[in-house]
Amino acid sequence: MIKKILLTMATIFLIWQSYSLLRNINNLEINSVGLLIFTAWIINLFITGIFAFSGFAFSTQKLLPKSYYKIYHPNKLKRIYNVLKIDLFRQMLLATLWKSPKQRKKYFNGKKNGISNLIEQSMKSEFGHLLPFIIICFLSVYFVIIRQTELGVCTFLINFIGNFYPILLQRHHRMRIEMIRKRQLRKTTDN
In terms of pTM, does the model score above 0.95?
no
* Whole-angstrom distance, CA of residue 171 vs CA of residue 165: 10
Note the pLDDT of residue 180: 79
* Whole-angstrom distance, CA of residue 93 vs CA of residue 60: 23
The sign of the torsion formed by the CA atoms of 46, 68, 60, 121 equals negative
- Tens digit of pLDDT per residue, the chain (191 long)? 888 999 999 999 999 999 999 999 988 888 899 999 999 999 999 999 999 999 988 889 999 999 999 999 999 999 999 999 999 999 998 888 777 877 777 777 777 777 888 888 889 999 999 999 999 999 999 999 999 999 999 999 999 999 999 999 999 999 988 887 777 777 777 76
Which amino acid type is present at position 99?
Answer: K
For the segment 48-100, what is each residue's pLDDT rounded down to a tens digit? 999 999 998 888 999 999 999 999 999 999 999 999 999 999 999 888 877 78
Which amino acid type is present at position 124?
Answer: K
Collapse the DSSP code of 167 into the 3-class scheme (helix H, G, I; strand E, B; otherwise coil) and give the result: helix
* Whole-angstrom distance, CA of residue 47 vs CA of residue 156: 13
* Whole-angstrom distance, CA of residue 158 vs CA of residue 155: 5
Which amino acid type is present at position 4?
Answer: K
Burial class (CB in 10 A: 0-12, 13-18, 19+), 53: buried
Note the pLDDT of residue 125: 92
Note the pLDDT of residue 191: 62
Tally: H helices and E strands in the chain: 9, 0
Residue 155, sorted as left (phi over 0), alpha (psi -120 to 50) or beta, turns out to be alpha
Note the pLDDT of residue 29: 85
Contact 177, 121 (CB under 8 A): no
